[in-house]
Amino acid sequence: MRSRITPKQETNVKRKNFAPLIVALTAGCATVNYGRVQPLSNAERSLYTCREIELEIAKASDFLRNIEEQKKGISDKDVLAFLGDFGIGNSMEYADATKSGVERLTQLQELHAANQCPSTAVAVVPAVTPQPQPGVSAE
């Protein structure tokens, strides 16, 4: 005689099969997104005045500071990301975002010097150097 599955048992089986899928999908979406800044374009190089260069240097410096601030705390996304990929995705995102910010800031500082702009406190903000992440190559 075949045992019959009750509707309640069927629901429990579906839930048990559905739970790992939800965990996997949630972990995949848990990578922190810091954003990116674009490298300096040729148009920006030729059109920016000293004042605009200094404003862009301030923006790039703020971008890098914001990345560092976000990196300091541990959020729910960090925990889920660790469960999903051992945090590698967050480390890669951090490294890529920092690299884009440092690249733009360096280009702006070079343009500031090339245009012989007067030195100001904003123009000489030191670039943040990305911290090496365990298990993530630099390139």
The tokens of 64 are what? 């890098």
For residues 126 and 60, the model is more confident at 60
- In this predicted structure, what is the pLDDT of residue 139? 44
- In this predicted structure, what is the pLDDT of residue 93? 86
The residue whose two tokens read 């996304």 is 77
Contact at 8 Å (CB) between 57 and 112? Answer: yes
User: What is the per-residue pLDDT across 102-135, written as a single tens digit (0 to 9) for each?
Assistant: 999 999 999 999 999 988 766 555 545 545 444 5
pTM for this prediction: 0.61
Half-sphere exposure of 113 (CA within 13 A, CB side): 6
